[in-house]
Amino acid sequence: MKLAAVVAVVGAALTALLVQYFVLIRPWYQGWGATAVELRARLPGDELAPDAREVETRALTIDAPPERVWPWLAQLGQDRAGFYSYGFLQNLFGMDMPRGDRLLGLPDPRPGEKLLMSPRPAMGGRAYAVHERVEPGRALVLRTYALRMMGAGGAPPPSGSWAFVLAPEPDGRTRLVVRSRRGSEHVAPSLAASALGALVLDPLHFAFERRLMLGVKERAEGRPVEPAWREAVEVALWFTTAALGLAALAAALRRRPAAGRWLLAATAALFLFTLLFFARPPVALALLLVVALRFAVAWAWRRPPGEARPAEAARA
């Protein structure tokens, strides 16, 4: 297949992936698990960012009453029980995150207290949210702050809200509804900021928040907590897939005679990364898929029939 044809195929595949992402994947993860009623409902904390540009509402059902779920929410925080979410990855970035596998017996937070996202010296001490409303057994509402800028008096300006709401079900179970509101509909971000948010920051927030919610569910139900090695393997497969894709893309730019193979391998890596990140398949299946990608990259590395080696091409 000629390079022009390969580029056309890869371009069509990438276009299809982008359309799929913005039309299907992004709306799906922004409302992950939430019903139509929950998406439209007014929740505690909405008043903190009434003109929010972006609103995400996620939910799941926990087989336990609200009074058993609440203690696990109340002890969230880097200086408390952590966030039950990808501690392996968080600690790689020096966040010193506790595992939080048991209730610590801590008192409920009070309005005005900080919820730390990382150790106080990290990120200039700006990685925190502030408890605005604490309704035991019902709602934990936080005001969030921007990390990238400082406001008057050297304090980060508010950027939105983050609310955890517990809704009792008739059968004794609980709906955990999590809503984040950020930005302002009256302030348009730059194109670069919009792309960074839509393609990088928002998916990362979803991945960490989904794992947090599942972590609360596991603990409140008294089920075995997902082992740390599972999270470590999952994150390692993300990085491995990304590295293979970037290596294939770099090789495509350098090896023009075999660029078609490398572009196909890079495209396969992008599709696989999307699957691993959003769908979270079983570890065994994920490992098999990454091994298959490794063989695809090895296939791309093979010299096409009839292509001369660099030394032979130079003599010719």
Sheet holding 158-168, edge to edge: 54-62, 174-182, 158-168, 139-145, 128-135, 114-116
For the domain 33-226, what is the CATH code? 3.30.530.20
Helix, strand or coil, per DSSP, at residue 77: strand
| pLDDT recorded at residue 249 | 81
- Each residue of 188-222: pLDDT tens digit? 678 888 888 899 999 999 999 999 999 999 999 99
| Residues 114 and 129 sit within 8 Å (Cβ to Cβ) | yes
pLDDT tens digits for 128-174?
999 999 999 999 999 998 765 544 455 667 789 999 999 999 999 99
User: Helix H segments across 75-160?
Assistant: 87-92
pLDDT of residue 116: 92
Of the chain, the end-to-end C-alpha distance in Å amounts to 24
Show the tokens assigned to 26: 């992004």
Residue 230 in 3-state DSSP?
helix
Report domain extents, the chain.
3-19+233-310, 33-226
Total-model pTM:
0.87
Distance between CA 75 and CA 87 in Å, rounded?
A: 16
For residue range 211-258, what is the model confidence (pLDDT) as tens digits?
A: 999 999 999 999 999 888 999 999 999 999 999 998 888 877 776 556
What percent of the residues of the chain are helix, what percent strand, and what percent coil, each to the nearest 5?
50, 15, 30
User: pLDDT at position 58, please?
Assistant: 98
The pLDDT value given to residue 251:
78
- Quickly count helices (H) and strands (E) in the chain: 11, 6
Q: Per-residue pLDDT tens for 35-85? A: 999 999 999 999 999 989 999 999 999 999 999 999 999 999 999 999 999
